[in-house]
Amino acid sequence: MRQPRPIVTWKYCLESDQYFRLVGPEPMLRAVGARFCPLASSEVRLLSRCGACPSVEPVIEGCAVDIYYLSGRIYHFSYVLPLYREIGGALVIRRWRRIRYVKRYLRNVQFSQEERTFLNTPRVVKRPKDDLRDLSGVVLSTSEDFFQYNRQTCKSIFLGHGTGDKKYGDHNASTLEKYDYHFISGPKHVEKMREQGLRIPEERFVKIGNLRFDDYLNGKIDRERHLDRLGIRDRSRQTVLYAPTWKFGQGTFHQWVYAFAREITKRYNLIIRPHFHERRHLKRLRLWARLNGIKNVYFSNPAAVVACDTMLDFAASDILISDTSSILYEYLVTRKPVVVIQNGYGGLHRMPRELDIMSCAQVFDGSQDILQVIGAGLADKDCEEKYGKLLNDCFYFNDGRSVERARAFVRSLDDSATRSN
């Protein structure tokens, strides 16, 4: 049985740029003020100095409010995984059979301060498809599908799962207007919603940047270890990452994967990372490559959101090939070259040039030699500068602190809940 939560309230210190918590037995909290630090203004609710009050202690993890992550598919969870690792929470599933994906792909990623679970996976709660009315706390959703919840006891935050050029589904777009808040990755994210005609007040936007960029920007990814895991032996070759989308976006996997495996591996290592909905073809593709004697081709399973995290494949590669996937923009964090496959898909946003990958990328329309296109991209001396500029035009901050900003905002909701109680 879970232990009752301690009485706790979070405060922010301007001087140290850190969050602190008031913690202790109820009489002591009443004495120092459970809602406001006695040394701070009741209007701004900020501590004037670290440790100014003896009941204040610094913390780097945890959150008193209940956090729930709503992800339509297991790969969606990868977009909030960096935040989960900092503040914990529970993963909401709609069918018990989905728990097999949690146990298979999310082993040993459990938040350290929560009760241990089998295989150390995140806590799981099952709820019907759209009924979360009995939950209280914060629901952070990566799915465009809306859900019912009690607005008196719960707040909803929409993050989504990628900020590319594909439009939100017409039947889902208007549901985004119902969320209490939106975690915004950058100007491109805002432009995407504006171009689709969504009317969301700006006060609901919370600018955090891209959560998934932090580990890459902070140098926490071990490239050599991931190359070992993929089995890449010839490190003298440069490595190409082919990561197309699926049928929603007119993905090019079935059209080009076999040709690319034959041609690209003549000169480069090739990592094939299909979309999550195409992952079932990996076994057959791996067998085909073996039977045809194709070497220097490697495979990354997008369902394995920890072992095959997208950022690991980014670090392992020297150039990306994709089509209409949002991975085109996420790859900007590497400042490495990109090749875009033209596929004629018409459901894309019309972006201004400064927010459009086509302003920088090499283009492959099927008529060129793919090796020449890759070679031109790798030889581009201005690559780092122009992709870096597009990165900063499309995404906020890019300073490795997006998770901190998201964590701080969630804790501010916790603080609000404390005051209302």
| DSSP assigned state of 166 | B
What confidence tens digit (pLDDT) does each residue in 349-367 have? 889 999 999 999 999 999 9
Residues 19 and 87 in one domain: no
What order do you get walking across the sheet with 239-242 strand by strand?
297-299, 269-272, 239-242, 319-322, 338-341, 362-364
Task: Give the H/E segment covering residue 261.
Answer: helix 253-264
- Identify whether residues 241 and 328 lie together within a single domain: yes
Could you identify the residue written with the tokens 């923009």? 329
Q: Is the domain of 367 the same as that of 257?
A: yes
Beta-carbon contacts of 208 under 8 Å, excluding residues fewer than 6 positions away, are 183, 184, 185, 396, 397, 402, 405, 406, 409
Whether 194 and 232 share a structural domain: no
Residue 136, helix vs strand vs coil: coil
The verdict on 237 and 383 lying in the same domain is: yes
Task: Determine, yes or no, domain membership for 182.
Answer: yes
How many domains does one find in the chain? 3
121-142 pLDDT tens trace: 888 999 887 799 999 999 999 9
pLDDT in tens, 38-58: 333 332 233 333 344 433 333
Task: Say if CB 214 and CB 400 are below 8 A apart.
Answer: yes
CB atoms within 10 A of CB 240: 27
Domain shared by 135 and 250, yes or no:
no
Domain-embedded: residue 271:
yes
Residue 384 and residue 244 share a domain: yes
C-alpha–C-alpha distance, residues 212 and 43, integer Å: 34
What pLDDT, in 10s, does the model give residues 154-192?
999 999 998 899 987 655 677 899 999 999 999 999 999
Bridge partner list, 140: 69, 157
Neighbours of 133 (CB within 10 A): 15
Residue 212 CA to residue 220 CA, distance in Å, equals 12
Q: Which of 12-26, 332-346, 373-387 has the lowest mean pLDDT?
A: 12-26
Q: Is residue 401 part of a domain?
A: no
Residues 308 and 170: their CA atoms lie apart, in Å, by 31
- Both 377 and 246 in one domain: the answer is yes
Query: What is the domain-level CATH number for residue 247?
Result: 3.40.50.12580
Put simply, whether the predicted model's pTM sits higher than 0.85 gets the answer no
Q: How many helices (H) and strands (E) does the chain have?
A: 14, 17
295 and 343 together in one domain: yes
Retrieve residue 198's tokens.
């969504």
pLDDT in tens, 276-294: 999 999 999 999 999 999 9
Q: Is residue 160 part of a domain?
A: yes
Note down the domain range covering 349. Answer: 220-394
Domain shared by 45 and 128, yes or no? no
What is the CATH number for 152?
Answer: 3.40.50
